[in-house]
Structure 1
Amino acid sequence: MVLRVIKYGLALGLSAALTTGAYAEEATSAASPEAASPEETIKQALTALTDGAQLGAIRPAAIDGLYNVQIIGGPAVIISADGKHLIMGEMFDVTDTGLAPVQDPYLLNSRREFISSLGEHDSIKFAPEGETKHVAYVFTDVDCGYCRRLHSQMHSYNEMGANKPGYNDLGIEIRYLAYPRAGANSPSAAKLESAWCADDQKAALDKLKNLESVEPATCENPIEQQYLKGGEMGVTGTPAILLPDGRLFVGYQPPEQLLQAIEKK
């Protein structure tokens, strides 16, 4: 099976059995096991497999002999030191009470440092009218359907005839970060820039989420930086919800479900 990942395209066709394809064999045979370090061997193998996509740090995994690598804008993978075996998917610890997802200390720390580095104007905030009990950072794209769904549930909403509390009603402050899925130079990024540069950021973002146009605007903004940093931290799509403790949930979560996830330690 020919394995290929289109750079920044999120069309990732990696497989756990890299040695079964001629392309994988070609990708790894060029490396010299005697001369190259595991990091160099892994980088060469993944660079060939991904058509040169940007890679995050190559770090030892929880299982001896394996390594964690984040493909920027794509999945996190676990790969052997010789670059010949690759695993995609979540790793779990086997505990007395069942399976528990393994939290990568490197990524958790990286995400916490990123959050602590954010300035007052780096996010667009939608805060509760009353007490803020929790804060959730949401990587968003205005051309994303589930992002619009999340935004429509900022306050109480109706679902199948039942009124349900929104994020703000539950005391969750949503702080939007930019992640234009088509890239930092895309039309989606330009729309986000117009929101960040608007006199009333919240009103501009409201309009964009409701498929309305806003006055184009440019200014110094964090969109490209947040897009690249999001990819480094494991954001592969939108919405992606980042919590101050470093946990990341890629995908839409309804308000009550998000509250449960936040309060589950």
Structure 2
Amino acid sequence: MLVRFEMFKKWLLALCVGGLALNACAASEAAAPGSEDVVRKAVLSVEPTATIDSIKPAQLPGFYQVITSGLMLYVSADGKYVMNGDLLDLTAKKNLSEAGWAAFRKAELAKVPESARIVFGPANPRYRVTVFTDVNCGYCRALHEHVAAFTKAGIALEYVAWPRDGVTDPAGRNTQVYNEMVSVWCATDRKSAFTAAKEGKAPKSATCANPVKDQYELGLKLGVTGTPTIIAEDGTMLGGYVTPEQMLELLSKNKAGG
């Protein structure tokens, strides 16, 4: 089961008491130094239920980059230290953490087929963006109001489900918004049901094999914390609500590498 980002932050903050430089704090030693197994065991020794999605050598010598529970950490190869924060290359003036996140998001989103998304856009778009969305959030509705303008600008909006209230409530019952999003994804005409829901019309109740829960958990894994969350084709997170003009500017700048 995926550990929520907030839960993971709690133990990280509990460890990092004392305000050490770069948020460095000791973790436990395990196995032979310098291996991915050491790093994995160090993280799991603190949070045994953590889902570790990626471990790879960091561009910071002697450290590994770890993505777990929607959080990126840097763990020393001997398993003794963990750092929480952005890694910046001062020479290249580049955020290496964001570059790492982008590569991870791109790879994970590539696993989501178009058939599992609800897509609005031109036949041959200049740009495609993934939008983690909730049918009830105000900014999500405002974004969808401009779908014709996004299409005219050559931008395809590829929606995936992210019910903000989660899949279940504290009593273990499905949340209302989760049920509504399942009904949308299970509708005979998903695009019409989606647009109607964005206009405040409750979808006709329906159930089927659907990707809503998986997409919600994928969002947590990718660091999504609210809706809408917009991600470019290269995995760069562009932010939340933007107008078509702002989106086009962001995508053009992103494509140019700046």
Measured after TM superposition, the shift of residue 197 of structure 1 is 0.8
Counterpart CA distance in 2 for 1:175 and 1:113 is: 16
Q: Between Structure 1 and Structure 2, how many residues are aligned?
A: 240
> SS of the counterpart of 2:147?
coil
The unaligned stretches of length 5 or more in structure 1 are 1-5, 156-165
1:208 equivalenced with 2:193 (yes/no): no
Deviation per residue, 1:90-112 (Å, 9 max, x gap): 3333246xx33326676545544
Which structure 2 residues correspond to residues 1-265 of structure 1 after superposition, within 5 A? Answer: 7-8=3-4, 10=6, 12-13=9-10, 14-15=12-13, 18=16, 20=18, 28=27, 31-33=28-30, 35=32, 39-47=36-44, 52-72=49-69, 74-81=70-77, 82-88=79-85, 90-95=86-91, 99-102=93-96, 107-128=101-122, 132-155=125-148, 166-185=149-168, 186-187=174-175, 188-264=177-253, 265=256
Task: Describe the superposition over 1:116-150 as per-residue Cα deviations: whole angstroms up to 9, x where unpaired.
Answer: 4443421111124x863221111112243332332
SS in 2 for 1:20: coil
Q: TM-score, normalised by structure 1?
A: 0.72
Distance in 1, matches of 2:137 and 2:46, equals: 28
What's the % identity of the aligned pairs?
32
Quote how far apart the aligned CAs of 1:18 are: 2.2
Inter-partner Cα distance in structure 1 for 2:90 and 2:33? 34
What SS does structure 1 have at the residue aligned with 2:90?
strand
For 1:202, the aligned partner's letter is K
Amino acid of the residue matched to residue 121 of structure 1?
A: S
Give, in whole Å, the separation in 2 of the partners of 1:80 and 1:39: 10
CA distance in 1 between partners of 2:15 and 2:112 (Å): 40
What are structure 2's unaligned runs of at least 5 residues? Answer: 169-173
Task: Give the RMSD, CA atoms, in angstroms.
Answer: 3.5
Rounded Cα–Cα distance in structure 1 between residues aligned with 2:162 and 2:252: 26
Paired letter, 1:94: L
More helix by share: 2
TM-score by length of structure 2 reads 0.74
